[in-house]
Structure 1
């Protein structure tokens, strides 16, 4: 599970990042609304923690822009604002929850869990050609037959199918699937892609998982 924290106070951002990583979440941090918007639109996250009073693009404006672009990632506001009008404005903009500062980490953690449980309750299925991936059941099928994958193979296929039609760059795949954020030999992706294609028994005519030489991979019909 990956969470994006959009918070301009360095101390709060570090506190949340450390605490959430200790709970097993992958965490990215953005310090401005514009940077957070780019990250939220540029890669998949399971949840966004957004400060209301961000420099430049505010948290409220960020939320509205995300929802206008059909990005429905669960979003929780962190804010010192405490009026009913502010709360209503945040929820009307598309926020899923609202945590007032100062807050206890345990409260943040439980509210995150509630949102992730709610999201997981709605089955997500992605497909390309005869390949179907069921996120909730952690199952993959081809032509109706279940294909058993390792956890990493499943995560790699899920990432490609979530971005079907988009060229997924090797560095982004390493960051999102392997959670590696430093210079690293991306050749491991090729090994897993070969194994994935073999398990899915893709023939030469079934070019659903294509290699874009020198760049990365793309799932397309």
Structure 2
């Protein structure tokens, strides 16, 4: 499990780091809000432990910004605040769990493990717009009805979803999906995109001449 700890108290951050590393987790630490938010955006973590009060940018701001960017990494907030109103604020903003200081490492570890398990179970099903993709069965549903995709169409859809909101070039698609093809028709990617658009909805897949394709969520 890879965890990001955003905590300005270095003693607490290092204490948590040592505890989780003894459990063989991979830990990264940030001691201010701006850096913590940046790391949360550019890297993939299984869980983020986020302090409420931070220099440069507080935890609620970070939480709100991440959710607005469609980053739904499980987040557990740490805070000295114990008021019911503060807990409600955090939960409404999108945090997944909440722990008031002081706390025991054992309780924190149990909550983090629970968040990770819950997230792992949910991550096998991806939902956006009117589509649902089951990664276990490889079924794709549109408006709750199964649509039949070819292997290449399914692989292309997954590639676009995993890189949502970013253009993927034709060269990248060719390298990722067709690297084992000895002879490749020059328009095979355009044809696959065309067929995929017909099945999932033309408006879902955006194109930009000379740049590539993307799914905008």
Quickly name the TM-score band, shorter chain normalised. 0.5 to 0.7
Note the aligned Cα RMSD (angstroms): 3.4
Aligned equivalents of 1:162 and 1:24: distance in 2?
A: 27
Q: Which residue of 2 aligns with 1:69?
A: 69
Instruction: Calculate the TM-score normalised by the size of structure 1.
Output: 0.61
Residue correspondence of structure 1 range 45-194 to structure 2 within 5 A: 45-122=45-122, 123-124=124-125, 134=135, 144=151, 162-163=162-163
Q: How far is the alpha carbon of 1:97 from its aligned partner? A: 0.4
Q: Deviations over 1:27-82 (max 9, x none)?
A: 11111011000000111111110011101200111111111111111100011100
Q: How far is the alpha carbon of 1:133 from its aligned partner? A: 10
Q: Which residue of 1 aligns with 2:44?
A: 44
Q: Unpaired runs of 5+ in structure 1?
A: 126-131, 146-157, 168-193, 208-219
Q: Deviations over 1:151-202 (max 9, x none)?
A: xxxxxxx9998447579xxxxxxxxxxxxxxxxxxxxxxxxxx9x989x845
Rg larger for: 2
Instruction: Calculate the TM-score normalised by the size of structure 2.
Output: 0.62
- Closer, same or farther in 2 for the Cα pair 1:159/1:26, shift >3 Å? farther
Aligned equivalents of 1:24 and 1:161: distance in 2?
A: 30
Q: Unpaired runs of 5+ in structure 2?
A: 127-132, 139-149, 153-157, 169-174, 190-212
Aligned equivalents of 1:133 and 1:44: distance in 2?
A: 21
Report runs of 4+ in structure 1 exceeding 3 Å deviation. Answer: 158-167, 200-207
**Do residues 18 (structure 1) and 14 (structure 2) align?**
no
**Any idea what SS the aligned residue of 2:115 has?**
helix
**Do residues 32 (structure 1) and 37 (structure 2) align?**
no
Aligned equivalents of 2:70 and 2:88: distance in 1?
A: 20
**Any idea what SS the aligned residue of 1:57 has?**
coil
- Closer, same or farther in 2 for the Cα pair 1:7/1:202, shift >3 Å? farther
**Any idea what SS the aligned residue of 2:50 has?**
strand
